[in-house]
Amino acid sequence: MKVNFLAATIAGLTLAATSYAFAADRNVTIKNQTGYAIVEFYGSNSGTNEWEENILAGQRLNHGEAVEINFDDGTGNCMFDFLAVFEDDDRVTQENIDVCKIGTFTFGE
């Protein structure tokens, strides 16, 4: 009887954790404090090997500006990789960002 209770408890906790991942807020404010404009920004599920589309879509994120991005891609995943491309073509990659736990991510400072 204890084994069945333990199995049911573990299954319930797994379901609760999965439900949390799907219900989690994935809105993150991206701030640019680098001194340079970000001209492309990509945020892709860490489980993929390719960058998704440019989220800025032709816009710029100038020094001192911020943009709020919803990273909910429908997979329930919270771990994302970020790629910022700057006006001088420098690139900065940050991997394994938990978008379910952070509200703000700052490039620079």
- Asked whether residue 76 is assigned to any structural domain, the reply reads yes
Cβ distance 11 to 52 under 8 Å?
A: no
Whether the predicted pLDDT of 38 surpasses 80: yes
The secondary structure of residue 58, as a DSSP letter, is: T
Computed on alpha carbons and rounded to an integer, the radius of gyration of the chain in Å comes to 18
Domain count, the chain: 1
- Asked whether residue 99 is assigned to any structural domain, the reply reads yes
Q: Output the pLDDT for position 70.
A: 96
Closest CA to 45 of 98, 76, 81: 81
Closest CA to 42 of 5, 100, 95: 95
CATH code of residue 35: 2.60.40.2890
- Asked whether residue 2 is assigned to any structural domain, the reply reads no
CA torsion angle 19 21 22 23 (round to 10): 80
Q: Is the pTM of this model over 0.85?
A: no
pLDDT digits (tens, 9 = 90+) for 50-99: 998 999 999 999 999 999 999 999 999 999 999 999 999 999 999 999 99
- Asked whether residue 41 is assigned to any structural domain, the reply reads yes
Domain that holds residue 70: 25-108
Spell out the alpha helix ranges (H) of the chain. Answer: 2-23
- Asked whether residue 11 is assigned to any structural domain, the reply reads no
- Asked whether residue 74 is assigned to any structural domain, the reply reads yes
Whether the predicted pLDDT of 105 surpasses 50: yes
- Asked whether residue 48 is assigned to any structural domain, the reply reads yes
